[in-house]
Amino acid sequence: MSAEHQVISDSPEYRASDLRCQAIPEPPLFGRLIFHLLPLRRATIMRNIRRAFDGRLTDSQTIRLAQAAYAHMARSIAEVLASTMSAREGDRRVRVENVEAALRAASKGKGVLILTGHLGNWELALPAAIAAFPEWQGRIHIVRKTLPWPLDSLLTRRFDRAGIIVIPSRGAARSVVRVLRRGDAVIFVMDQHAGGSDGIVAEFMGAPAYTFRSLAVLALATGASVVPGATYREPDRRHVVRFEEALPTIRTGHLENDILLNTRMYNRTLEELIYRRPEQWFWMHRRWKDAYGRPL
């Protein structure tokens, strides 16, 4: 397998070609009710699912996945609003898997870039997981946009308590380079539409999508390892934070080509993370837009 195509596909559980037609849970009643009675961006969700699965789901499967996604979003919001999770409670409700992959990448001394998306309830699970690694508190950063009040204030306080430092996305590159030089880790949530000069067109779930080029630029410029990670909610309501092995950084000697090839690899990796638990991805986002920000 070439470096460009080396993604996390070594286990049958993670074969996207299989997961696209199965692994859709039966939605709970409140998910079905939200779908019919409070259909926020329902047309966008249905369009995104049909685009991503490219005819591999029946109409009833598409509806079931949308209903399960609504249930996941409602449950996630309720968990965040209700949580006063302590470190001890976090140990019981959040499990960290394969943290050795991230620690091996960190041992190289060039910092770690954590590739992830809007999967599971990462706003709840990630701070609880960090509590198990006090030596990394204050050394993990997350690049994100400012959210509407009061959600932004609530999440920022949660991150602060966990020792996760928020880097505002606007003009983040200089700050990211500085913390990578210290050997810190920076989380990039990279599954949303990228407008402006930071966008590059790379296929995502079978269709061209404007994707952030900054992660590839930083990996190429700093030598920091890119480690995929994701969170999932298990059927027993506990949460998993799982890291994968670091991705290779593709270097052909042509910068723009390298940025594109690495970004394609990141998108394919995100796809496989999403197809593990498709109902736990943020299908509501208008991921596929044109250069002017108009939905496709």
pLDDT at 65: 97
Residues 6+ apart with CB under 8 A from 150: none
> Token digits for 274?
């999403």
Torsion of CA 119, 125, 126, 131, to 10 degrees: -170
Residue 294 C-beta-side C-alpha neighbours within 13 Å: 1
Residue 23 has pLDDT above 70, yes or no: no
pLDDT greater than 50 at residue 254: yes
Of 47 and 146, the structure prediction assigns the larger pLDDT to 47
* Spatial separation of the C-alpha atoms in residues 146 and 84, rounded to whole Å: 22
* pLDDT recorded at residue 96: 94
53 Cβ contact partners less than 8 Å away, ≥ 6 residues apart: 20, 62
* pTM to 2 decimal places: 0.89
Distance CA 69, CA 104 (A): 34
Confidence (pLDDT) at 91: 59
Q: How far apart (Å, rounded) are the C-alpha atoms in residues 102 and 146?
A: 27
Contact at 8 Å (CB) between 91 and 47? Answer: no
End-to-end CA distance of the chain: 33
List the alpha helices (DSSP H) in the chain.
16-19, 29-37, 42-53, 59-82, 87-93, 99-106, 122-130, 151-162, 173-181, 214-222, 255-276
What is the per-residue pLDDT across 97-131, written as a single tens digit (0 to 9) for each?
A: 999 999 999 999 999 999 999 999 988 898 888 88
Mean pLDDT of 121-142: 89
Find the range with the poorest average confidence among 16-25, 51-60, 263-272, 280-289: 16-25
Strand duo 164-168 + 207-212: pairing: unpaired
pLDDT at residue 17 in the model = 43
Q: Residue 214: exposed, middle, or buried by beta-carbon count in 10 A (0-12, 13-18, 19+)?
A: buried
Read off the pLDDT of each residue in 34-54 and give the average, rounded to a whole number. 95
Q: Is the pLDDT of residue 270 over 90?
A: yes
Q: Are 95 and 239 in contact (CB under 8 A)?
A: yes
Residue 270 φ/ψ, nearest 5 degrees: -60, -40
| Sheet of strand 225-233, all strands in order from the earlier edge strand to the far edge | 94-97, 239-243, 225-233, 112-116, 185-189, 140-144, 164-168
14 vs 128, residue with greater confidence: 128
Q: Which of 79-83, 159-163, 181-185, 196-200 has the highest mean pLDDT?
A: 181-185
Q: According to the model, what pLDDT value does residue 14 have? A: 37
Report the share of the chain in percent with pLDDT over 70. Answer: 89
CA dihedral 272, 277, 283, 287 (to 10 degrees): -10
Q: Is the pLDDT of residue 140 over 50?
A: yes
Q: What is the pLDDT of residue 101?
A: 97
Nearest-angstrom CA–CA distance, 38 and 274? 24
Whether the predicted pLDDT of 94 surpasses 60: yes
